[in-house]
Amino acid sequence: MRTFLATIFIVITGLLILWVSTDGGRAFTVEEARRLEVRENPRSVPNWRLQNQDSELVSLHDWHGQFIVIDFIYTSCPSVCLILSSGLRSLQNDFAAQLEKNNLRFLSISFDPENDTPQRLKEHLSHFSANLKYWMAARPTSLSQKEIILDFFKVIVIPDEYGGYTHSAGYHVIDPESRLVAIFGVEQLNELKEYLTQVINKENVHQD
């Protein structure tokens, strides 16, 4: 009997821990929990100054008043970074009108600033036919700044044995008030497009 009761206690305790750690059962992975947290509690993005593909210092707040979609990459990445940037190229094509109306911008941030020189960033953008008027690539100006940025966005980057990185991948949406308001996985490009269509239209209605 004691063994049975002990087993029941362990099961109930485990379920309670699972319920709390998954935000009431709504998030069953760390990544899902991160996305949910951002949706429910948007956070103001600090005005970091980064070096772009033209060796110029720029900041996120330079695009205040516009939606910004950010991906995190390193230019020698052979896999998921290519998918992310292909997604931004698709957004560039599908949201051409919104880009021209200054409603939307794209930013690729390198987490490998030691190797991703401005020239390599420019070559990366060229590979994806980026319109540099609307899509910029940039790198942190120091390793400490890189760590601060990755921590803010909760992007996981782990060096691998081949000189590259294993890292989380997604699209991070900044709203016109310079707040991180949504995160979409690399597999959620269509959902991101639907989201951007809705929020940009809503923003334009408010402005009118």
Question: For 73-82, how does the pLDDT look when each residue is reduced to its tens digit (9 = 90+)?
Answer: 999 998 899 9
Residues 81 and 179 reside in one and the same domain: yes
Q: What pTM was computed for the model?
A: 0.82
Closest by Cα among 161, 113, 156 to 137: 113
pLDDT band at 2 (very low <50, low <70, confident <90, very high): low
* Higher per-residue confidence, 150 vs 79: 150
Residues 119 and 135 reside in one and the same domain: yes
Residues 18 and 119 reside in one and the same domain: no
- HSE at residue 121, side-chain half, CA atoms within 13 A, is 28
List the domain range (segments joined by +) for residue 85: 43-207
Contact (Cβ atoms closer than 8 angstroms) between residue 137 and residue 167:
no
Residues 70 and 32 reside in one and the same domain: no
Which tokens belong to 145?
Answer: 């700044």
User: What is the per-residue pLDDT across 107-146, written as a single tens digit (0 to 9) for each?
Assistant: 999 999 999 999 999 999 999 999 999 999 999 999 999 9
Residues 149 and 49 reside in one and the same domain: yes
Residues 136 and 94 reside in one and the same domain: yes
Residue 69 belongs to domain with CATH number: 3.40.30.10
pLDDT of the residue at 208: 55
* Range 47-74 average pLDDT: 95
Name the least confident of 83-87, 89-93, 154-158.
154-158
Residues 14 and 48 reside in one and the same domain: no
Residues 27 and 105 reside in one and the same domain: no
- Look over the chain and give the mean of its residue pLDDT values, rounded to a whole number: 85
CA distances from 155 to 15, 55, 146, 166, 206 (A): 28, 24, 11, 11, 32
> 10 Å Cβ neighbour count for 175?
17
Residues 67 and 160 reside in one and the same domain: yes
Residues 131 and 187 reside in one and the same domain: yes
CA distances from 181 to 37, 110, 171, 184, 198 (A): 9, 21, 11, 10, 14
Cα–Cα dist 41/179, whole Å: 10
Q: Which secondary structure element, helix H or strand E, spans residue 155, and what is its range?
A: none
Residues 153 and 199 reside in one and the same domain: yes
The domain total for the chain is 2
Residues 48 and 137 reside in one and the same domain: yes
Cα–Cα dist 127/171, whole Å: 19
Phi, psi values for residue 45, rounded to 5°: -90, 125
